[in-house]
Amino acid sequence: MKLIIFGPPGSGKGTYSSRLKEKFGLEKISTGDIFREEVKKGSELGKLVEDYLKKGELVPDKIVIKVVRERIKNCDNFILDGFPRTVKQAKALDRMTKIDAIIKINAHEEILIEKICGRRVCSNPRCDGNYNVADIRKTIDGIEYILPPLLPKDDMKCDKCGSPLIQRDDDKPEIVKERLRIYEEQSKPVLEYYRRKRKNKVPLIEVWMNRPPEEIVEKIVDGLKSLGLVG
């Protein structure tokens, strides 16, 4: 099974893809995670993308396509998180493999900003501790959001290793708004590209990010079942 999970920054793509990975034994390929790890290691690739990440800009297509091509070369079961983000990337992916379904996560911008700005990560580069201090309970345009916080047991210290929690540079309000603007500008045409495809059309599963992750994952699984991709 080959999937793409598609949605704006802060929509929970990473969380949902991790849970789908565990449930179905998929390889999770997250371009964001790959680049952040390379930055931490101080590799040549990391140095190349560090400035883009700090400014909230998207990494150039040529670099992203090369990284993804290497990761999926010998992989039959995967979920792509953060790729494709442009039509050029989508066309490149078509040449690499056939995708079984796209999962699209929807959310209002106000919710996304609040959720992203509430994110806290472990300061230990060898730990993947991830938390969120935002407690969102509101209704926008008829959509009721109930998104409780994900807090550590000890105030602002990672449950896994005890290191202090920090806010990433690209999770601060000014950068978040710019990331969302860039996403809207460059990524919307990707969905339009898939919607207009006549040959090898890719099914679309849409869900709203308005409940805790376990409920959203259930909705995604229902969508996969309806397509006959899982039992």
Among the listed residues 55, 157, 168, 219, the single catalytic one is 168
Q: Is 179 a catalytic residue?
A: yes
User: Which of 2, 85, 115, 120 is an active site residue?
Assistant: 85
**What are the tokens at 146?**
């109930």
Which residues on adjacent β-strands are paired with residue 150? 132
- Out of 19, 115, 119, 120, the active site residue is 119
Q: Please tell me the distance from the alpha carbon of residue 23 to that of residue 138, in angstroms, as a whole number.
A: 30
Catalytic annotation on 120? Answer: no
CA atoms of 176 and 186, how far apart (whole Å) = 15
Could you give the CA distance from residue 180 to residue 18 in angstroms, rounded to a whole number? 22
Catalytic annotation present for 88: no
Distance CA 116, CA 171 (A): 6
Q: How many CB atoms lie within 10 A of CB 159?
A: 14
What string of DSSP letters covers 182-211?
A: HHHHHHHHHHHHHHH--TTPPPEEEEE--S
Please state the separation of Cα 156 from the chain's center in Å: 24
Which residue among 13, 19, 115, 120 is the active-site one?
13
User: How many whole angstroms separate alpha carbon 108 and alpha carbon 224?
Assistant: 24
Q: What is the DSSP letter of 58?
A: P
Q: Max alpha carbon distance in the chain (Å)?
A: 53
Check if 36 is active-site.
Answer: no
Residue 85 annotated to the active site = yes
Tokens 């979920």 locate to 79
Task: Write out the catalytic residue numbers.
Answer: 13, 85, 119, 168, 179
